[in-house]
Amino acid sequence: MDYKASDRIQDLQYFGEFGGVNPSISDSSTYTFLSAKTMFDTFEGNTEGCYLYTRHSSPSNLYLGEALAALEGTESANVYASGMGAITSVIFQLCDAQDHIVSSRTIYGGTYAFMKNFLKKFTIETSFVDMTNLDAVEQAITPQTKMIYCEAISNPLLEVANIKALSTLAKKHGIPLVVDNTFSPLSIAPAQLGADIVIHSLTKFINGSSDCVAGVVCGTTEFCLSLKDVNHGAGMLLGSTLDGLRAASILKNLRTLHIRMKKHSENALFLAEKFEDDGLKVVYPGLSSHPGFEVMQQQMHPKYGFGGIMTLDVGSLEKANLLMEMMQQKNLGYLAVSLGFYKTLFSAPGTSTSSEIPLEEQEAMGLSDGLIRFSIGLDDDINRTYEIMKSCMNELGILNKKQLAE
Ligand SMILES: *Cc1c(COP(=O)(O)O)cnc(C)c1O
């Protein structure tokens, strides 16, 4: 596959105002104009390269946007104050009252709650379907449908979307395919596979240091400009603007993304294989037992692996909680939501990040209450981590007698 995202990022070149090796940070909310006429034209959206007001755009945000467009291989990208800021802007830009969305049923809890509850206020309906069942996706499409929405690798069940097939379907019906690629930067390139709009929560792997929230929308220049339109742009009018200082710091962290993703993936694959051998219920898209393994192999960039997220089902919420507390005591990571940190993060999605999803729906989609989601860290000695995790599981009786005897 001809995919050179890391080359495109490597090839970006910025100079600071004084010849610095990092771009200068623009620390202003508003910008001067030499002529009043140019100010008017800028409001009308006619003047490229003029800064107006920071909610509209700012140099630091444009630099980060340019780098993220390079990451996904799209024409353009707009950054936002959070992943949800990016997602909600896209939805409001594409949907009017009475419109309809076809979405995967396994998506980030906040996105699910927004579509299921909040959009009711605007009479926008969502059908939640199994994205791996293309017939179900197609049957859900109505004349009112304005987008197909999914995650490349879904939260928290790690379903793998067949982006090529979904994009063919979306094109057949003349609607855009919107893909949240938060779980798989670099390893999956949805826009190269036919997605029209790619979203990330930058909060996770891309920034990678759990010190901020931010988001991005990658797409055509036309769509990105429409989001910024002073009269009709959802990004501009909803106002979830990323601070320029933060944009500059995310841009610096982006430079090590390729190294981090390889290590996250290597460590997660190691643990997933070990725990599967130990007889535990592991879900990881890099295991041949995973239903999305083949699709994943067809559409991934092998260099970056299958990603850093894995789930373990330890049988009950009580055991899950005990295990997570013990792992934190032993300094294997943190009992915390979110992902992409250098330390392993773990949480029980049913009672945390997916608690917006009603219990009976959680059951229907296979989200059991003993499920723990792990964002595997950058541990240098992952075998040592495995041994300590295993000793915790032995102590809590999570591995059965046969497994213990081995
Ligand atoms: C965290 C997350 C979001 C939301 O991003 P925020 O930066 O927290 O607003 C959206 N989608 C996925 C897959 C996520 O993991």
Residue 200's φ and ψ, nearest 5 degrees, are -135, 145
Which residues does a 6 A CB cutoff place in the pocket of ligand 1? 82-84, 108, 110-111, 151, 155, 180, 182-183, 201, 203-204, 213, 215
- CA 84 – ligand 1 centroid, Å: 6
Q: For 153-199, write each residue's pLDDT tens digit.
A: 998 889 999 999 999 999 999 999 999 999 999 999 999 999 999 99
**Looking at the whole model, is its pTM more than 0.85?**
yes
Handedness of CA 260, 266, 272, 278 (dihedral sign): negative
320 token code pair: 């899950």
- CA 83 – ligand 1 centroid, Å: 5
Q: For 8-42, write each residue's pLDDT tens digit.
A: 888 888 888 899 999 999 899 999 988 888 888 77
pLDDT reported for residue 2: 52
- CA 141 – ligand 1 centroid, Å: 25
- Which residue, by CA, sits nearest to atom 4 of ligand 1? 83
For the chain, which ranges sit under pLDDT 50?
Answer: 1, 401
- CA 140 – ligand 1 centroid, Å: 25
CB 304 within 8 A of CB 186: yes
- CA 171 – ligand 1 centroid, Å: 26
CB 261 within 8 A of CB 187: yes
- Which residue, by CA, sits nearest to atom 8 of ligand 1? 83
User: How do beta strands 344-347 and 371-375 pair?
Assistant: antiparallel
Pocket test for ligand 1, best of 108, 238, 241, 309 (most atoms within 8 A of CB): 108
pLDDT reported for residue 1: 44
